């Protein structure tokens, strides 16, 4: 069982039905509210590629490895695998109530709509439809869940890609 702890005056980390830990609203939150900054160590694209490749290799070996990489700009990522980054516990959803926004070199998680007291904060991670997409199944459970952690722009092509990739 995950121990519960406060992040700020709006958010708490606790057990999630989506995946392990999650971030939840401690009170009603209006739309367009900055909830939390995604923080961590700034790394180059090459370092992010190395971290990601190590994670994928562990997943293929049956490990439950994860990364907390967030693209910052064309040359850098934020490696959010640091203790002070509570935003890393925000889960993906195909029907999110929040989104990420870039603001002067920072990444903020912002509410897309009003969020109810006790509701889990989620955003779409925006993964690309690449050769590794099937390594990232979605567990959000929303009515419109597409089964994989993908940016919405790829949803229309998903059935076609799955059909091609499962043919033997």
Tell me whether residue 162 is in a domain: no
Q: CA–CA distance from 95 to each of 27, 57, 122, 139, 146 (Å)?
A: 20, 29, 8, 12, 10
**Does the pLDDT at position 61 exceed 90?**
no
Q: Which domain holds residue 88?
A: 5-39+84-128
Mean pLDDT of 67-84: 93
Q: Residue 20 maps to which CATH number?
A: 2.170.270.10
* pLDDT-based confidence at residue 2 (cuts at 50, 70, 90): low
* Counted domains in the chain: 1
**What pLDDT score was predicted for residue 167?**
59
Decide: residue 148, CB within 10 A, 0-12 exposed, 13-18 middle, 19+ buried: buried
pLDDT tens for residues 5-56?
999 999 999 999 998 899 999 999 999 999 999 999 999 999 999 998 888 7
User: Phi and psi (nearest 5°) for 152?
Assistant: -55, -30
Residue 16 lies in a domain: yes
> Span 115-126, mean pLDDT?
96
Closest CA to 81 of 48, 112, 105, 121: 48
Of residues 103 and 2, the one with the higher pLDDT is 103
Is residue 14 in some structural domain? Answer: yes
State yes or no: pLDDT of 134 exceeds 70: yes
Q: What is the mean pLDDT of the chain?
A: 91
Cα(108)–Cα(119) distance, integer angstroms:
19
Local structure of 70: helix, strand or coil: strand
Q: Please compute the mean of the pLDDT values over residues 135-158 and round it to a whole number.
A: 90
Question: DSSP states of 13-49 as a string?
Answer: EEE-SSSSEEEEESS-B-TT-EEEEE--EEEEHHHHH
What pLDDT is attached to residue 166?
63
Q: Report whether pLDDT(86) > 70.
A: yes
């Amino acid at each position: 069982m995950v121990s519960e702890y406060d992040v700020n005056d709006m958010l708490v980390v606790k057990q999630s039905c989506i995946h392990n830990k999650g971030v939840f609203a401690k009170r009603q939150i209006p739309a367009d509210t900055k909830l939390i900054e995604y923080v961590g160590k700034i790394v180059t694209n090459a370092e992010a590629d190395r971290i990601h490749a190590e994670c994928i290799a562990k997943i293929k070996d049956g490990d439950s490895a994860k990364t907390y990489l967030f693209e910052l700009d064309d040359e850098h990522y934020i490696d959010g695998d640091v203790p002070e980054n509570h935003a890393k516990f925000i889960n993906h959803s195909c029907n999110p109530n929040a989104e990420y926004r870039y603001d002067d070199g920072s990444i903020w998680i912002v509410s897309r709509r009003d969020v109810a007291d006790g509701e889990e904060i989620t955003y779409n991670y925006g993964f690309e439809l690449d050769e590794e997409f099937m390594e990232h199944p979605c567990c959000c459970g929303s009515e419109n869940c597409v089964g994989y952690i993908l940016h919405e722009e790829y949803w229309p092509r998903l059935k076609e890609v799955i059909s091609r990739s499962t043919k033997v």
